[in-house]
Amino acid sequence: MKRERPLVIPVFTPQEGCPHRCVYCDQGTITGVTRPNWSRASLQAYVEDFLVRSRRHPVEVAFYGGSFTLLPWTRQAFFLEAVQGFLQQGRVQSLRLSTRPDAVSSQSLTFLQAMGVRTVELGVQSLNDRVLAASARGYTSLEVVQATGRLRDSRFRVGFQLMPGLPGEGRATFLETVDKSMTIRPDFVRLYPTVVLSGTILEDLYRRGSYRPLSLPEAVDWCKEALLRLSRNSIPVIRMGLQTGPTLERPGAIMAGPHHPAFGQLVKSALWYDRISPDLAEVSRGSPEPIIRVHPSDLADVRGHRNGNISRWLTEMSLPRLDVISSPEIPPGEFRVTSGQSRRPSSVVRCGPQAESILRQGQDE
């Protein structure tokens, strides 16, 4: 049975609890929050506003942006106790937080469990020890395995945050991290391609020529392959690319790297391109004006960002015309290529058993 996607109410605590500064990090820019100034009343009003505006269920309150389990106990208790009333009323079903793999102790998990936390996201970033050291993460891949084991033993849902393109990382190294993640089996994964933020250590490395960020096509290619591998192993990818916002989009915030406001769509569109192209080439040999039919929910991703897939197909296959049509009778995740001349039912249909599961990825929890 498909698990319903929850409403996640994000509470940002940028860099709180972080023991040191990683080379790429500026949580204030990433989250759009420069300083945590929550009071009990403001936090409760913030959650209440989300609940009033949305009727989606279940509901989680999530504490993001820092290493939550490294906060002083009093600070952890402040955040968690402030939302206990919503849990007791049944208006919020569970809590979620993010932390470091080396900050997961049995004592902290007992406390979190008692306070209603059910999901813990680990800032894994990489499972290559050389890459972790180059990024100043301060832990090893073994500690990721151990932390995941402790979380599993305590029945928490576990998420991994991975960052393709870190210093010292190539495509093969990143995909090794993906494959190792599959053996550890997190409940879900986020893919955040590394970007060079202003004022970070990574910016200094970039300016000195010691670090080359991924290009946008490279990041799309790496994440496309990661998405395929994870999805085929039933591990959902719930987000690809940083969440855009005013702080992140301000001039000079991002110095270099593969940031794009529609990065997730670029990845999914690239997957559609790969799936459809062989059949489109086959049909277009007999019809210069083929038609691609897809479910309405897939139309935008098949067409591509700013019709990028259509433009590419027209150019590469020398087609005078190509229509991509919304067809509700076609199941989500499937497609049909027909002859534009005959307008008959499809002569080529590709409905792989994992099509929908793969192409439904990238929706944030």
Q: For position 313, which CATH number holds? A: 3.40.1260
Same domain, 200 and 288: no
CA distance 89 to 60: 13
Q: Same domain, yes or no, for 103 and 118? A: yes
Residues 86 and 158 in one domain: yes
Which residue range forms the structural domain that includes residue 306?
Answer: 267-359
The number of C-alpha atoms within 13 Å of 351 and in the hemisphere containing its C-beta is: 11
CA distances from 220 to 106, 171, 172, 266 (A): 38, 11, 15, 7
pLDDT digits (tens, 9 = 90+) for 124-161: 999 999 999 999 899 999 999 999 999 999 999 999 99
CA atoms of 55 and 37, how far apart (whole Å): 28
d(CA 230, CA 333): 17
- Are 121 and 167 found together in one domain? yes
Select from 260, 293, 318 the last residue of a domain. 260
Does residue 46 share a domain with residue 103?
A: yes
Give the phi and the psi of residue 173 in degrees, each rounded to 5.
-65, -45
Q: Give percent above pLDDT 90 in the chain.
A: 75
Could you read off the pLDDT tens digit of each residue along the chain, which spans 365 residues? 445 678 999 998 876 756 666 788 765 444 444 455 899 999 999 999 999 998 888 999 999 977 899 999 999 999 999 999 999 999 999 999 999 999 999 999 999 999 999 999 999 999 999 999 999 899 999 999 999 999 999 999 999 999 999 999 999 999 999 999 999 999 999 999 999 999 899 999 999 999 999 999 999 999 999 999 999 999 999 999 988 766 677 788 899 999 999 999 999 999 999 999 999 999 998 888 899 999 999 999 999 999 999 999 999 999 999 999 999 999 999 999 998 764 444 434 444 434 555 555 655 66
Surface-to-core class of residue 300, CB atoms within 10 Å of its CB (0-12 exposed, 13-18 middle, 19+ buried): middle
271 shares its domain with 256: no
Domain count, the chain: 2
Within-domain flag for 39:
yes
User: Do 251 and 271 fall within a single domain?
Assistant: no
Asked if residue 148 is part of any domain, the answer here is yes
Specify whether 328 is located in the same domain as 242: no
User: Does residue 114 share a domain with residue 256?
Assistant: yes
Structural domain includes residue 2: no
Domain boundary among 240, 260, 280: 260
Three-state helix/strand/coil letters over 69-99: HHCCHHHHHHHHHHCHHHHHCCCCCEEEEEE
Q: Which of 144, 109, 112 is nearest to 125 (CA)?
A: 144
**pTM for this prediction:** 0.88
CA–CA distance, 192 with 318 (Å, rounded to integer)? 35
Q: Decide which of 229, 260, 291 is a domain's last residue.
A: 260
- Residue 105 placed within a domain: yes
pLDDT for 288: 81
Tell me if 365 is assigned to some domain: no
Asked if residue 1 belongs to a domain, the reply is: no
The region that residue 57 occupies, defined by phi over 0 for left and psi between -120 and 50 for alpha, beta otherwise, is beta
Asked if residue 73 belongs to a domain, the reply is yes
Do residues 287 and 252 share a domain?
no
- Asked if residue 272 and residue 231 are part of one domain, the reply reads no
Give the CATH number, domain containing residue 67.
Answer: 3.20.20.70
Residue 355 domain-assigned (yes or no): yes
Q: Can you give the three-state secondary structure of 42-54, one letter per residue?
A: HHHHHHHHHHHHC
Residues 16 and 126 in one domain: yes
